Structure 1
Amino acid sequence: MNRLITRVVFSLSLIFIFTITATAQGDTVSVQTEQKTSQTDVAETDSTATDTVMTAFAEAPEDYATATDNGGLYKSIKVKFIEGNVGFMSLVALALIIGLTFCIERIIYLSLSEINTRKLLEDIEAKIMDGDVDGAKSICRETRGPVASICYQGLMRTDEPMENIERSIVSYGSVQSANLEKGCTWITLCIAIAPSLGFLGTVVGMVMAFEQIQTAGDISPTIVAAGMKVALITTIFGIIAALILQVFYNYILTKIEHITTQMEEAAISLLDIIMKSRQAR
């Protein structure tokens, strides 16, 4: 079930990001075509063609952004996506999508793992005190989550010494704890990768700025600003992606701690119930 959820969410996310990337690349080609046309017209009508063309090239994305401001949030994000270099922005978006996929899968799994522990233990105690151990096992089998699984493991050894029961519960509890944390490593990896890709885009943008300065043979604020804009946009998106994933990751850790606490309390309560039932005999 968990693998199915992960695959579905991941597939839909990839389709979404590929659609945005393809659209962005198409828009980039259109903008570049408009830039070339603008550069040709300027070169024919102005004696200072080089400086004017570089200025038009740097300002063209801003004009494109202004033209699409009325398109809403989606248009604005797409414009910034194009301005930040489609290649690096796609990698950052992919890291965000992969991280969110694992976050959603973990949240669904942990939400389904939470139960009313107090009611479960009360039902188990009532069955055990009545001598109906099989009925208590049935309750655990019909209840989802690691808490019920731990209780079932303890009830499987009610006729054995208390040390064996405790050892079995502790061992199985370690397995369940590992299942709760499954996939969290990938989330932390995406949290680290997203800003790193943004910083890499920053370095590439600065290199582009210096290349434009070298080509123009002059240090123009407009030329430097164009390259720095690309650099800063990739950094911003990388940091935003990492912040989003960090919020989800902390929420997941909180739910894992809560379920782990429930498991420990249930284990202690189950041992007390078994001890009471033996004393009652």
Structure 2
Amino acid sequence: MIFAQITTSPDTTANIASGPESVSVLDLLFQGGFMMVPILLLSIMAVYIFVERILTITKAEKTPDGFMSKIRDLVEKGDITAAKIYCKEYDSPTGRMIEKGLSRIGSPLKNIEVSIENVGKIELFKLEKNLSLMATISGSAPMLGFLGTVIGMIQAFIAIAQEEGSVSPKLLSEGIYTAMVTTAAGLFVGILAYLGYNYLVAKVQKVVHKMEYNSVDFIDLLQEPR
């Protein structure tokens, strides 16, 4: 009978017994090709920028409760020197803005507002440092991943074209999934960088709102009748 003539080779039996081979994530990353290097560098840069900005912004947020109340009391008493010293004790954007305003007391109110605004612009520049680079990483990492995939697909099709005879499905599938690794890695880095960028922007906006509120409060204090 036909079924009786079918024999199973030792190699086939071994393959059936062993089952599909498992591929670790690390193995996939190494198979991604040379385009994985710039993606890895971008991921390191993104982590560094995120951690450095978090530490800087968190430090800028630390304005003590009752800060403006203390400044108000000292200004109303006429102790401007003590108010300046109090601002210097807290190394924060708000403290530096109010200190600049205190140093301009006696000048026209418009000049005081301009001096506070100028300090605020400098502090905002410090807070937003490297955020544009973070946004660039979030967009460039997926593009590098796509580029790596295209290069990998080209290499896979070249290997298929050079293969004599029938093309093995294993050869085709290995070339494709290896090429797709860079896309996955680029998207992963890009998504994390994008989320980190938006989180940092939200933190900066929170600090900016506090700076604006305190500066307006200080200008109102100077306009109060004595």
2 CA distance for matches of 1:158 and 1:275?
11
CA contact 2:28–2:178 (8 Å) conserved in 1: no
1:173 maps to a residue whose letter is G
- Corresponding residue of 1:246: 194
Correspondence for 1:24: none
1:103 aligns with 2:54: no
Q: Verify the 8 A CA contact 1:194 1:239 in the aligned structure 2.
A: yes
Q: Deviations over 1:6-26 (max 9, x none)?
A: xxxxxxxxxxxxxxxxxxxxx
Match of 1:255 in 2: 203
How much has 1:148 moved relative to structure 2? 0.7
Query: 1:155 pairs with 88, 94, 102, which one?
Result: 102
Which of 96, 112, 123 is the matching residue for 1:176? 123
Is the CA contact (8 Å cut-off) linking 2:63 and 2:94 kept in structure 1?
no
**Match among 182, 197, 209 for residue 234 of structure 1:** 182
SS of aligned partner of 2:78: coil
Runs of 4+ in 1 over 4 A off after TM superposition: none
Residue-by-residue CA offset, 1:107-160 (whole Å, 9 max, x unaligned): 110000002365110110011111111111011111121111110110011111
Q: Which residue does the alignment assign to 2:76?
A: 129
Query: Structure 1 stretches of 5 or more lacking a match?
Result: 1-45, 47-55, 57-61, 66-75
Q: Which residue of 1 aligns with 2:173?
A: 225
Provide the secondary structure at the position in 1 that maps to 2:66. helix
Q: CA deviation at 1:83?
A: 2.5
1:86-121 deviation per Cα after TM superposition (whole angstroms, max 9, x unaligned)? x22222111111111111111110000002365110
Map 1:1-281 onto structure 2 (within 5 A): 63=21, 65=23, 76-85=24-33, 87-116=34-63, 118-217=65-164, 218-276=166-224, 279-280=225-226
Asked if the contact 1:117–1:147 (Cα under 8 Å) also holds between the matched residues in 2, the reply is no
CA distance, structure 1, for counterparts of residue 65 and residue 220 of structure 2: 14
Rounded Cα–Cα distance in structure 2 between residues aligned with 1:134 and 1:272: 20
Unaligned runs of 5+ in 2: 1-10
Task: State the match for 2:6 in structure 1.
Answer: none
Aligned counterparts of 2:65 and 2:103: Cα–Cα separation in 1: 20
Show CA shifts across 1:28-77 (max 9, x none).
Answer: xxxxxxxxxxxxxxxxxx9xxxxxxxxx9xxxxx7472xxxxxxxxxx33
Residue in 1 aligned with 2:3? none
1:203 positional shift: 0.6
Q: Matches of 1:267 and 1:243 in 2, distance apart?
A: 36
* Cα distance in 2 for residues equivalent to 1:80 and 1:111: 37
The one-letter code sitting in structure 2 at the alignment partner of 1:240 is F
Deviation at 1:221, TM superposition (A): 2.7
TM score, norm. by length of structure 1: 0.70
Based on CA coordinates, which of the two structures has the bigger radius of gyration?
Answer: 2
The question of whether the paired residues in 2 share the 8 Å contact of 1:117 and 1:262 is answered with: no
CA RMSD of aligned residues (A): 1.9
* Cα drift, residue 211 of structure 1: 1.1
Q: Measure, in 2, the Cα distance between the counterparts of 1:148 and 1:202.
A: 51
Q: CA offset at residue 227 of structure 1?
A: 1.2
- Give distance in 2, aligned partners of 1:246 and 1:223: 36
